[in-house]
Structure formats: structure tokens, C-alpha cells
A and B are shown apart, each in its own frame.
Chain A
Amino acid sequence: MPSSESLIALKNIDFSYPDGRRVFSDLNLIFRDGQKAGLAGLNGCGKTTLLSVIMGLLYPQRGEVEIFGRARREEKDFKEIRAQMGFVFQDANDQLFCPTVADDIAFGPLNLGASRKEADLIVEKTLALLRLEGFGPRVTYDLSGGEKKLVSIGTALALNPRLLILDEPTTSLDEKTVARLEQILNDCGLPYIIASHDRSFLARTTHLVWTMTEGRLVEG
């Protein structure tokens, strides 16, 4: 028996791009509840691709993706659980597409069936957690890069997910925002996977680190 429930299990994953470039061969990964894991590796080694496979945005040619204890094979399987894995994209401009911060944070909860009132409450709570009180009516594209990143993490947190997945969250952030990011990750109390090439950031925020080498994951 494993010590705690496995949230994500990838088994014998092979993945190649349509142009034939091989990214993973026989890749295995188990991520358990309560874990804080880092995913390290060089640029272009396939970190984002791996996260996309977990999110069901890309499908492997071989192997099994198991999330929350069930095999996920098609869009239908992923659709019901995608929002439970709060995914934070690398470029906040891709994640924030609504006119205002409040709209963007409310988007997920509204999709999940919250009423407008409930969504407004979630917006308020999320902004408080991010220490961005009063940012609701701000226009997203007028935000600074750091604020955008924090808000895009907020849009993931607002889904009330079981875990967070962050793709290169520290890219082009200053030290102050990185410190706030660490604080938020610590405060949210969720298990998470962070893909990053910043080893020192991973050392501060995670308990275990996988390194991607030659299409497989190696611990450490």
C-alpha cells in the first residue's frame, strides 16, 4: 500500500511530436497527495510537454495516464477533472484573457456552476490570499508582469483544485515577486508540481525533484 493516495500516475509513456521528434520513452511518474515536487531539466527537454500530457492537452502514443485513481484516455475523461488540477501557464498573457482581474478569477468558478454571488465571494477570497485586495476591477493588461503572474495563479486557486501545476512560474519575475510566489505556494496548502529550470527555487519550494534526461525522469 502506498503511504498516500496517488493523484497522478504516468506509466510507460512514449511521446513523439508529429515531426517524429521523440520526447519521452518509457517515462514513469507517480505524484502523491501532499507532495511538493519539482520538475527540472534543460530548455526544450519536454517539461511543458509532460505537463500537457498530465492535463490531457496532448496524448501519448503509448502508456497510461492515471489521474485521481482512474485511467484517462480521451477528452471526456479529462474534461471532468481538468479544473481540479489548477494549471498555471508559463505566459500569464495566455491565461488571463478577460477584461478585468475579477472576470478572470470568476471565469473558472462560473464554468463549474457557481452563481455570480458565489463567484464574487471566491474572487474576494482569492485576492485576499494573493494579498491583492482591491485588484478586482483592474484591467488585466494594465498589470505589471509580476501582478499578472500572481493573478494567473489566483485563477487556478479559484477553481478550488486538489493540486496545482505550475509551468516555469519564475520566468522573468523579480526577487520580490518570487518571494511572494513562494509565500502563496506555502499558504495555499495544496500539493503541487512545479516545472522550472531554476534549481534554487525548486530547492526552496519542493521536497523532491525529478530531472528529465533522455526522455525519462530521474529523481534528484
Chain B
Amino acid sequence: MPAHHQSLTWSKNMSEHHKSQGKRLARRESALKKADPRLKIIAVVVWSFLLALTEQIGAAMAGLAGSVILAMISGLPAKDILKRLLTVNFFILFLWLVLPFSFSYPGEVMARLGPLEITRQGLRLTCLLTIKGNAVALGAIAFFGASSVFELTAAARRLGAPEKMTAIFVLMFRYVQVIGQECARLRLAMKARGFKPSMSMHSYRSYANLIGMILIRSLDRASRIHAAMRCRGYNGRFWLSGEFNFKKIDWALGSLMILLICGVLAFAFV
């Protein structure tokens, strides 16, 4: 049985808006979507480590170019990719607030910004981290954005990820949605009885009750799920289907990755 999951992406557990977006992302049949998920995992790990260890601006730029190529063949809409990159760059913004200045990175002073001194070494490091961060994130988005979570989990299991970890991951993913719906229903019920959030003790108490109720219900549900699993002979093995085979497209993708890696290494050492 092929591990072919319909229209499922990692954004599934987010809001409805994201959900429909995710469905749209995964439906496109790009080369990266069709590739063997095991290859995708290995490619992302190798690519990320390679870029993370890069110390030359040139090599990092080459890596970023490689990631852009991967993003282009991923078939994901540019708008969605940029949205995700924006989140990453929000964190990188904090680096720019601190790192280029002499108080955090002493060195040769290039310019002054009021009382602050910008150092050449600090600026270089910030640029390097920005490029590397974007390159790694873009590569991961390109590979994982075009896969279903369960496909990737099954592949990770096949690659030797611990059974417990994959089981926890699959169950979490399955029930985040169910618990989310429960939470939405409870909130709706609160609204239906005229609840308006405000800065009052009543509001805080109501929210505390809501959270408590969700925790209790989740605990109850967990024990019912466990009972249901035991009723079907559960004995610690968590089965994930998915036969993977290396296809032509995987050879092509593998070759492309080797080329990109060689490119980055060439910039790093030449």
C-alpha cells in the first residue's frame, strides 16, 4: 500500500485559514512532493548542517541560491513561502538589534549610530547568520512544505527514529485537532451565554475553568484511546504504513542535492 496521504501538510493543526492554505500547498504535484520522504529528511538534515557550519559569506550565499532553487521546484506558492520566511526573520531581527555593535561584538569600528559603534566583524557575523538562517529555513520549507506530516513520520520511523517518539508525534498530531475543536465548542458555549472577555476576575476565573476543563477532558480522552488500543491487541508496537521506493525522480533529486552541496563546499574552500 503506498504511503499516499491526501492533502495533508504540517500546517494542519493551525487555524482553519492555515489549514485550507496547507491543503492548497500540498495538492500541487511537484517533483519535491513526489520524492521519497526518506530522501527528503536526509537531504534536509545534511543541507541544514552543511549551511549551519559554513563560515564564509560566499558559501552561505551559494547555499541561499541553492535553497531558492529548491523552493522554486517545490511548487509551493511564493506567497506562502515568504509568509513562513517572515516568521524566521522576525527572530533574526533581534540579532540585528544586538550583534553588529561594539558592546556585544568588539572589533574594528566601521560606523557610528549615535552613541553606538558598528564593528566590521559584528556586521559580517550578522550578515552571515541572516543568510544562513534564511537558507536553512528556505531549504526546510521547500522539502517539508510539500509533504504530509504522517508521510514524513513514517519515513523517519523507517530511518530509525524511535518508535515511541514517532507514536507520540502521530498521536499529538491526530488529537491536537480534536482537542482544538473541543476548545472551540466550549468557547462558543461561553459566548452563547453572554460571556465577554474583559479585565475582570470573572473573566480570569472563566478562562481558568475553560483550561481546566480542556485538561480534564484530554486526560479522559487519552485513557479512552488507550483502552481502545488495548481492545485491539495493542502491545507497545505502533504501526505506521508506508512502503517507500526510490524512483527516478529521487535519483534526480539526489543528484541535484549532491551538486548543490558540492557548490557550497567549492565556495567554502576555494
- Please state if B227 and A83 are interface contacts (CB–CB under 8 Å): no
Query: 5 extra interchain contacts, Cβ-Cβ under 8 A, other than A138-B6, A139-B5?
Result: A55-B231, A89-B224, A97-B174, A112-B233, A139-B8
Which range holds the interface residue count of chain B? 20 to 34
Q: CB within 8 A of B232: which of A100, A108, A137, A138? A: A108
- Please state if A120 and B232 are interface contacts (CB–CB under 8 Å): no
| CB neighbors of B among A69-96 (8 A) | 79, 82-83, 85, 87, 89, 91, 93-95
Find chain B residues with CB under 8 A from A107 CB.
229, 232, 234, 239
Secondary structure dominating the interface of A: helix
Most chain B CB within 10 A, of A98, A112, A159, is at A98
Min Cβ gap B157→A in Å is 12
Min Cβ gap B169→A in Å is 11
- Distance of A52 Cα from B226 Cα, bound (Å): 13
- Please state if A97 and B231 are interface contacts (CB–CB under 8 Å): no
Min Cβ gap B205→A in Å is 25
Min Cβ gap A78→B in Å is 9
Question: Chain B residues in contact with chain A, CB under 8 A?
Answer: 1-2, 4-8, 150, 153, 170-171, 174-175, 177-178, 221, 224-225, 227-235, 237, 239-241
- Please state if B174 and A99 are interface contacts (CB–CB under 8 Å): yes
- Please state if B233 and A159 are interface contacts (CB–CB under 8 Å): yes
- Distance of A141 Cα from B5 Cα, bound (Å): 12
Q: CB within 8 A of B234: which of A99, A103, A111, A139? A: A111
- Please state if A137 and B4 are interface contacts (CB–CB under 8 Å): yes
Q: A110 interface residue, CB < 8 Å from B?
A: yes
- Distance of A138 Cα from B4 Cα, bound (Å): 9
- Distance of A85 Cα from B233 Cα, bound (Å): 11
- Please state if B231 and A100 are interface contacts (CB–CB under 8 Å): no
- Distance of A99 Cα from B174 Cα, bound (Å): 7
Q: CB within 8 A of A100: which of B150, B225, B233? A: B150
Q: Which 7 A-B pairs have the closest CB atoms?
A: A111-B233, A99-B150, A108-B232, A83-B233, A94-B224, A87-B231, A110-B239
